[in-house]
Amino acid sequence: MSYVAQLRCLRCGATYAPNAIEYVCSCRPNVGSDVGTLDVLYDYTAIAAVTSPLAIATDPDRSIARFAPLLPVRSRDSLPPLAVGNTPLLHTQRLGHALGLSHLFVKDDGRNPSASFKDRASAIAVARAQEEGRPVVATASTGNAAAALGAVAAAAGQATVIFVPKTAPPAKIAQLLVYGCTVLAVDGTYDDAFDLCMEACREFGWYNRSTGYNPYMTEGKKTVSYEIAFRLGDALTGGVGRLVAPDAVFVSVGDGCIIGGVHKGFKDLLTLGWIDKMPRLYGVQSTLSPALYNAWQAGAEVPAPVHATTRADSISVDAPRDPIKALAAVRMTGGAFILVEDEEILQAILPLASLGGVFAEPAGATAYAGLQRAVASGMVGPDEIIVVINTGSGLKDIKAATQITAGMRVIPPTLAAVKAALDPAITAL
């Protein structure tokens, strides 16, 4: 059964029964960033009666299905048959040492089935669409959300229609096509694709998975926080079913739905009494896509649109679609929004890989670039427990990696050529 109690508008405070409203409150025009965003509220007393940290920790299913009582689905069996979640939380000691940090962890969500964080939300979208008997699920995406939807929908036998800007990276488009999605490349920006998807869903009655509009997408994304707290408990206490909240979490931000989900997950755990504090949340944006940073700096509720041109395509957004949750995540936890240059983003790919073993796409590396800035400005302490979330695999955007590396050496097939090409320090080992 579902333990969703009601939905509450974060703009006007109106509450709705779970089946009385689908996407957004009518108190706002629901255009661009000015959205009547809904929050999904649960009966936590009932949840505590049917599950526990120990039950979750010992569940043989390591996917997000083990969190089913905290998800907006009628049954864990509604979730698609892909092992979404359970991505590694890596104690990256060499990476931490380079920054002077004792407890640096990287949550590598590039290990999800479609190689991005977005699988978490897409699993919920497909589950809810199938519970409601909706024949088509549609979304607008720069690539990752769409690929995630394609993967879980293919496994569940769910039809999809995907709207992407025609500039989306070829690797991401290839994923959509092999998953069997109907792909419509829009001659425009991500925001143009988003608006067209909205219009098409209204016209044809499709289930709309689009970020920031569908409140249930946050509920899938929040599962990353559950996993972080459980894994930290394992790593730092050695106790089964013991949870530990980090001191700070760094995450890249475009529309704002991921950081909103991270916040919601930790709020759930705090409400249940399973953790004893809320981590500070840091949202990292490119200087070439700074809408939420600007709103945070100005104390605004609705971000003014920008003309986003960042190389990190997954966070290139003119008008963020989930600003209320994103701004609350930072403001309510004592965190901050951080701006980084595109060159910092690209260069951050290298230490994540060479020191941490994590190959991140530009949007994933953005979070680490933000941590570098935070360390330099004294925003985090050397002994704090810090988590950086990598939201997507570097295989999503090979071009970004190749443009910051020296490339390979071509040599003739002789041992002499090998010796000539190598650093003497290597051959002396």
pLDDT confidence of residue 422: 87
Number of domains in the chain: 1
Q: What are the CA-CA distances from residue 317 to residues 33, 70, 79, 330 (Å)?
A: 11, 30, 29, 19
Rounded Cα gap, residues 89 and 203, in angstroms: 42
Rounded Cα gap, residues 419 and 423, in angstroms: 8
CA dihedral for 32, 120, 229, 317, sign (positive or negative): negative
Question: In CATH, what number is assigned to the domain containing residue 319?
Answer: 3.40.50.1100
Residue 323 covered by a domain? yes
Q: What are the CA-CA distances from residue 196 to residues 146, 167, 190 (Å)?
A: 15, 16, 10
Range of the domain at 262: 89-113+218-402
Dihedral-angle region of residue 256 (phi above 0 means left; psi in -120 to 50 means alpha; beta otherwise): left
Residue 26 covered by a domain? no
Residue 411 covered by a domain? no
Render pLDDT for 292-329 as a digit per residue (tens, 0 to 9).
999 999 999 999 999 999 999 999 999 999 999 999 99
Rounded Cα gap, residues 376 and 363, in angstroms: 21
How does strand 159-165 pair with strand 182-186?
A: parallel
Rounded Cα gap, residues 13 and 11, in angstroms: 6
**Distance from CA of residue 319 to its chain's centroid?**
18
Q: In this structure, what DSSP letter does residue 91 have?
A: E
Rounded Cα gap, residues 154 and 348, in angstroms: 33
Give me the mean pLDDT over the 358-365 stretch: 97
The answer to whether residue 67 scores a pLDDT higher than 80 is yes
Rounded Cα gap, residues 84 and 223, in angstroms: 10
pLDDT confidence of residue 409: 85
Give one DSSP letter per residue of 18-52, joined into a string: TTT-SS--TTS--BTTB---EEEEE-HHHHHHH--
What is the chain's mean pLDDT, rounded?
A: 95
Residue 365 covered by a domain? yes
Render pLDDT for 134-169 as a digit per residue (tens, 0 to 9).
999 999 887 788 899 999 999 999 999 999 998 888
Q: 135 near 410, Cβ under 8 Å?
A: no
The answer to whether residue 96 scores a pLDDT higher than 80 is yes
The answer to whether residue 12 scores a pLDDT higher than 70 is yes
216-230, 249-263, 404-418 — which is least confidently predicted? Answer: 404-418
Give me the mean pLDDT over the 46-68 stretch: 98
Q: Single out the residue of 241, 216, 217 nearest to residue 229, CA to CA.
A: 241
Residue 181 covered by a domain? no
Q: 33 near 323, Cβ under 8 Å?
A: yes
Q: What are the CA-CA distances from residue 243 to residues 53, 171, 276, 406, 418 (Å)?
A: 8, 37, 9, 42, 50
Global pTM value: 0.95
Alpha helices by DSSP H, 222-361: 223-237, 257-272, 291-298, 323-331, 342-354
The answer to whether residue 429 scores a pLDDT higher than 70 is no
Q: In this structure, what DSSP letter does residue 188 have?
A: S
Rounded Cα gap, residues 307 and 230, in angstroms: 39
Alpha helices by DSSP H, 41-160: 44-50, 53-57, 93-99, 119-131, 144-156
Give me the mean pLDDT over the 194-202 stretch: 94
How does strand 207-208 pair with strand 136-140?
A: parallel
Residue 356 covered by a domain? yes
Helix (H) or strand (E) holding 281: strand 280-286
Give me the mean pLDDT over the 100-122 stretch: 97
